[in-house]
Amino acid sequence: MNDGFVRVACATPKIRVADCGYNAEAVISMAKEACEHGASLVVFPELCITGYTCSDLFLQNSLLISAEKALCQIMTSTRELDAVLMVGLPVRAFSALYNCAAVICKGELLGLVPKTYIPNYSEFYEVRHFTSGRQLSSDVSKNTIRFCGKDTVIDPDVIFSCTSMPEFRIGVELCEDLWTPEPPSGKLAINGATVIANLSASDEVIGKADYRRLLIKSQSARLLSTYVYASAGIGESTTDLVFSGHDIICENGALLSESKRFGSGIIYADTDLQKLENERARANTFEGRNELRTVPFDIDLKELELGRYISPTPFVPADKARLDERCEEILTIQATGLAKRIEHTNAKSVVLGLSGGLDSTLALIVAVHSMDMLGRSRKDIIAVTMPCFGTTKRTKSNAQILAENYGTSFMDIDISKAVRQHFEDIGQSMDVLDVTFENGQARERTQVIMDIANKTGGFVIGTGDLSELALGWATYNGDHMSMYGVNTSIPKTLVRHLTAYEASHSEGALKDSLLDILNTPVSPELLPPKDGEISQKTEDLVGPYELHDFFLYYLVRFGFTPGKIFRLAKSAFKDKYDVETIEKWLRTFLRRFFAQQFKRSCLPDGPKVGTVTLSPRGDWRMPSDACNSSFTF
């Protein structure tokens, strides 16, 4: 697949203990099925050619010879498959026995990877039969054996790298290796492996599945990798243990796919290796070492329909309980940041323009929480409504209801007279509804609240959000400016949920007002209303905020190309927007994002609450004159 996507699979066949020929046929059948479904990597369980539970049969020459023949059979029968296959079997080398993963591609044996940590539990007495791969020399001339008719490296420290897709680099560890204090996958990831394949035979006892899942998720997160875990299942001996075939695929802490336990079959996941590479570069803790042996392979990039869910709201958790928890945390972060600034500056008041719209409502909510946190009177919050030519009765009324019910100070200052005087001074006609007409009102409002802050010994709270900053949808030195911007890293899609969360914890007139604000069209209200209703709707002019927030997330968070963002957006919004609409607004987003950086280069302070922020002092440092010619699709 292109754009960094690779389809990976875990395959747990139904086996017969010590019947290598039967097991080989099961592996071949599942490998073909997985490749028919577009898999480029198929991972089978530990020792699946023989069965994990052969016990002392592993010391029998007949079984070892049969296992090697079975691997040769698998290689011959999968020669036409365009994928990497990983199959477990015992291998005798240098007078010792190793528990190995055989790595195969297009009928060629790329290498044998031995298990590093050999368990010595009463139920897993592997140490009776197998030797650790750590005993092997790192010198290729000393760890090459003849296997399946070819000279093959047997080495735990090897990375298999795809020549046609450089970010597709596979490291291998086996079962117990993951459960140790220092798993081999750490070294493999540091040396560039983006995918860790684990061939496992993990028995099932009460509570182990949850721990196993958590362990794999955690390891994939620590390594910023995709972890493909295939475990033994049906067919293993049940003399003392039961194996459930619990297969798991995780990507950077996220569970992509998981099998049902106590069965056999194949699971798939489309992993985004490009995203992992970008995450590693951003983290800057992966040292780019090149200390391990690299074995190249080549497979074709498959053009497949994306088989993973893409959330249309990446800033907003889908789970209601998690969303409520996130909202509470965000409000606390915002309020804590503002409280510190109030305390540090010894501010006697905080002042904000309260329009009756979403952003200023959230800013007021944060201010209220901050004052409560500091144990101060809410009267120290001065909410100022400043009606002018575009103000509607609905928004002005909501602003007053909010202030009254929160118990803040409130001022109603009609600025239309001052703006008319200003327009007369600069020769601006009241009949010309241009950018001067709009921005003159915005800057007058900022002047008013700045002066009130001076008069009351306080400072101005900014109300603008992250989405507006990304688009440059702010009047320079108007609503663009404040002494502390509490919403500076809150995208518009999240502003709505934070306000809804506050409404769910409110009662009476306050709750009704908050709900009405949620149903009010987003607007700067700078143009005259029509029949008393808002005439200027922001999303009609710059596009849907849910699209822009989606574009922003993947551009800034992961550094994706516009072409990849376009592809993801088509998948995420396929039931809501047509392709032409998505393309139109993505082009608008890119144009405005680059053209409006100068506004972001001089932003006031504000708290970071998520992984995406555009603060010039923090996560986003971009020249104001950067061109977007390289960001086309």
Asked if residues 484 and 338 have their Cβ atoms less than 8 Å apart, the reply is yes
Q: Which residues contact 360 (CB under 8 A, 6 or more apart)?
A: 352, 353, 354, 399, 463
Active-site annotation holder among 46, 173, 176, 251: 46
Helices (H), 354-491: 358-374, 393-406, 416-426, 435-455, 466-471
For the record, the structure tokens of 312 come out as 């249309």
User: How far is C-alpha 382 from the geometric centre of its chain's CA atoms?
Assistant: 39
For the record, the structure tokens of 221 come out as 């997160």
Q: What gap in Å lies between CA 271 and CA 76, rounded to an integer?
A: 28
532, exposed or middle or buried, with CB in 10 Å at 0-12, 13-18, 19+?
exposed
Per DSSP, the three-state class of 172 is: strand
- 175 is annotated as an active-site residue: yes
- The DSSP letter of residue 610 is S
- The DSSP letter of residue 266 is E
Asked if residues 423 and 432 have their Cβ atoms less than 8 Å apart, the reply is no
- 46 is annotated as an active-site residue: yes
Kind and range of the H or E run holding 151: strand 150-153
For the record, the structure tokens of 158 come out as 């090897």
Active-site annotation holder among 48, 175, 250, 327: 175
Q: Rounded to the nearest 10 degrees, how much is the dihedral formed by the CA atoms of 339, 343, 345, 347?
A: 80
Q: What gap in Å lies between CA 466 and CA 545, rounded to an integer?
A: 11
Per DSSP, the three-state class of 480 is: coil
Q: What gap in Å lies between CA 168 and CA 195, rounded to an integer?
A: 7
- 115 is annotated as an active-site residue: yes
Q: State the chain's maximal CA–CA distance in angstroms.
A: 101
Helices 579-595 + 562-572 axis angle, to 10:
140
Helices (H), 456-603: 466-471, 492-504, 508-518, 538-542, 545-552, 562-572, 579-595, 597-600
Around Cβ 633, how many Cβ atoms within 10 Å? Answer: 13
- What distance, in Å, lies between the first and last C-alpha atoms of the chain? 18
Around Cβ 405, how many Cβ atoms within 10 Å? Answer: 17
Per DSSP, the three-state class of 158 is: strand
350, β-bridge pairs:
381, 459
Distant-in-sequence contacts of 51-54, Cβ < 8 A, 24+ apart? 51/15, 51/16, 51/17, 51/18, 51/19, 51/23, 51/232, 51/235, 51/236, 51/237, 52/88, 52/201, 52/232, 52/236, 52/243, 53/17, 53/201, 53/236, 53/237, 53/239, 53/241, 53/243, 54/17, 54/18
Active-site annotation holder among 115, 187, 564, 599: 115
Kind and range of the H or E run holding 334: helix 320-345
Catalytic positions, please? 46, 115, 175
